C-alpha cells in the first residue's frame, strides 16, 4: 500500500516492525513495514533514524513532494548490485540502441495520446474535431517510424520535432473538452498559471516518483536518459519512461475530476505567482492518481496494475540492453 502524509506537525517513527504516524506527538495510526510500498510526504514534519532504517530494510520508498509539484527528496534502499546494467546503459548512448529506445518512448506517447482522444470522441458520439486531431497523431507516428536508428544524440532533434507537433495537436484536443472558465489555453509545464496545468504538474510529480522507484529497483541510472539529454541534477531517464504513462495515469485522472465536477475554483489560489492547490483538493488529486496507478489494465495479454506495468517497462529496458530482447512500448488501445 501507499501511505500519504499530509498536513503539519506529523512525524514518522518506528516501533518493532511497525511504522508509526504521530500528529502533535500523539499516535494516529501504524502500519507493518512489510505492507507498505511507498510513503509520499506532502506536508511538514519529522522522521526518526530508526524509521528510515526500517523503511530501507523493507525496501519502502519515501518521497517528498512540495506544493508546486516538485520532488524535494527521495529516500530508498541500497542500489541494485548488477553493475553490468549501468555499463550497458552508458555504452548504448554511443550506439543505435539509444536512438531506438528514444523513438520507442515517443511512439508509445503518441499512441496513448491518440487513444485518449479516440475515447473522448467516442464518449461524445463521434466528434469531427477530436477525430481530426487523432488522425494527425496517427500521421505523426508514421513519420516518427521513418527516422533511422542512430545514437540518440544524432536524431534527438528530429524526434523532439515530431513529439512537439504531436503534443500541440493533442493538447488542442484536450483543451476542446475543458470548460473555458478554467482558462486552460495550452500545456505550460512548470510555473502553472491556471488550474488545469497546476493539477497536471502535481500529478506528474507523483508519476515521476513511481517511475523513479521502478528504475532504482531495476538497476538503471535515472540520470542517464536516452531521449532526454543529460542535464545536471535532472533525472532524464525518469522523464523518458514517463512519456509512456502520462496520458493513461495522469491526464485521464485530471479529466475525470474536472468532468465529474469535483474540482472547484475555490480549491485554488495564486501564491507567489503560482497556482496553489488547497489541502483537501490536493488530497483528492493524489488519491485519484494513486487509485489509477493501482487500477488493472490489459496489455499484451497480461492483466496487471499500471504500477506493475511501470516496473515491467523498466525491466524491459534492462532486457533490451543486456539480452537484446525486443522492447515493447506500453500503450492502451481503446
Q: For 214-253, what is each residue's pLDDT tens digit?
A: 999 899 999 999 999 988 878 999 999 999 999 999 999 9
- pLDDT tens digits in sequence order for the chain, 334 residues long: 888 888 788 999 999 999 999 999 999 999 999 999 889 898 788 999 999 999 988 988 888 888 777 788 888 777 767 899 999 999 999 999 999 999 999 999 999 999 999 999 999 999 999 999 999 999 999 999 999 999 999 999 999 999 999 999 999 999 999 988 888 888 987 778 889 999 999 999 999 999 998 999 899 999 999 999 988 878 999 999 999 999 999 999 999 999 888 988 888 988 877 888 888 898 899 999 999 999 999 988 899 999 999 999 999 999 999 999 999 889 887 6
DSSP letter for each residue of 183-206: ---S---SS--SHHHHHHHHHHHH
Question: Does 334 fall in a domain?
Answer: no
The CATH number for 89's domain is 1.20.120.920
Calculate the average pLDDT of the chain. Answer: 92
56 and 192 assigned to the same domain: no
**Number of domains the chain contains:** 2
Question: Does 77 fall in a domain?
Answer: no
234 and 289 assigned to the same domain: yes
93 and 40 assigned to the same domain: no
176 and 31 assigned to the same domain: no
110 and 207 assigned to the same domain: yes
The CATH number for 40's domain is 3.100.10.20
134 and 46 assigned to the same domain: no
Of 316, 290, 296, residue with least CA distance to 206: 290
Q: For 154-173, what is each residue's pLDDT tens digit?
A: 999 999 999 999 999 999 99
58 and 107 assigned to the same domain: no
How far from chain centre, in Å, is Cα 311? 12
Of 290, 285, 277, 289, residue with least CA distance to 67: 277
Range of the domain at 130: 83-323
Measured between alpha carbons, how far is 55 from 76 in angstroms, rounded to an integer?
A: 8
Question: Does 78 fall in a domain?
Answer: no
Q: For 244-253, what is each residue's pLDDT tens digit?
A: 999 999 999 9
16 and 146 assigned to the same domain: no
* Block residue for cell numbers 503534443: 167
Rounded to 5 degrees, what are φ and ψ at 210?
Answer: -70, -40
- From 65, 95, 114, the end of a domain falls on 65
239 and 170 assigned to the same domain: yes
Q: What is the pTM (predicted TM-score) of this model?
A: 0.90
Amino acid at each position: 500500500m501507499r501511505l500519504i502524509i499530509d498536513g503539519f506537525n506529523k512525524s514518522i517513527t518506528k516501533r518493532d516492525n511497525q511504522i508509526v504516524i504521530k500528529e502533535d506527538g500523539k499516535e494516529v495510526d501504524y502500519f507493518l513495514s512489510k505492507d507498505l510500498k511507498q510513503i509520499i510526504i506532502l506536508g511538514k514534519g519529522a522522521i526518526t533514524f530508526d524509521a528510515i532504517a526500517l523503511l530501507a530494510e523493507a525496501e519502502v520508498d519515501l518521497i517528498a513532494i512540495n506544493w508546486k509539484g516538485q520532488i524535494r527528496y527521495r529516500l530508498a534502499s541500497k542500489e541494485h548490485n548488477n553493475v553490468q546494467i549501468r555499463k550497458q546503459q552508458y555504452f548504448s548512448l554511443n550506439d543505435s540502441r539509444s536512438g531506438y529506445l528514444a523513438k520507442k518512448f515517443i511512439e508509445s506517447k503518441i499512441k496513448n495520446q491518440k487513444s485518449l482522444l479516440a475515447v473522448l470522441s467516442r464518449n461524445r458520439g463521434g466528434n469531427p474535431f477530436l477525430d481530426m486531431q487523432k488522425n494527425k497523431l496517427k500521421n505523426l507516428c508514421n513519420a516518427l517510424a521513418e527516422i533511422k536508428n542512430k545514437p540518440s544524440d544524432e536524431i534527438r532533434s528530429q524526434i523532439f520535432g515530431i513529439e512537439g507537433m504531436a503534443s500541440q495537436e493533442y493538447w488542442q484536443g484536450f483543451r476542446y473538452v475543458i470548460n473555458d472558465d478554467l482558462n486552460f489555453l495550452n500545456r505550460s509545464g512548470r510555473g502553472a498559471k491556471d488550474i488545469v496545468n497546476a493539477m497536471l504538474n502535481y500529478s506528474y510529480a507523483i508519476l515521476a516518483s513511481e517511475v523513479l522507484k521502478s528504475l532504482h529497483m531495476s538497476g538503471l541510472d535515472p540520470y542517464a536518459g536516452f531521449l532526454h539529454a543529460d542535464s545536471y541534477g535532472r533525472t532524464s531517464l525518469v522523464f523518458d519512461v514517463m512519456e509512456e504513462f502520462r496520458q493513461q495515469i495522469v491526464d485521464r485522472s485530471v479529466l475525470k475530476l474536472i468532468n465529474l465536477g469535483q474540482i472547484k475554483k475555490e480549491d485554488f489560489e495564486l501564491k507567489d505567482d503560482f497556482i496553489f492547490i488547497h489541502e483537501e483538493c490536493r488530497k483528492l488529486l493524489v488519491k485519484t492518481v494513486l487509485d489509477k496507478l493501482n487500477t488493472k489494465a490489459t496489455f499484451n495479454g497480461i492483466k496487471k496494475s499500471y504500477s506493475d506495468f511501470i516496473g515491467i517497462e523498466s525491466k524491459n529496458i534492462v532486457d533490451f540492453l543486456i539480452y537484446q530482447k525486443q522492447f515493447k512500448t506500453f500503450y492502451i488501445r481503446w
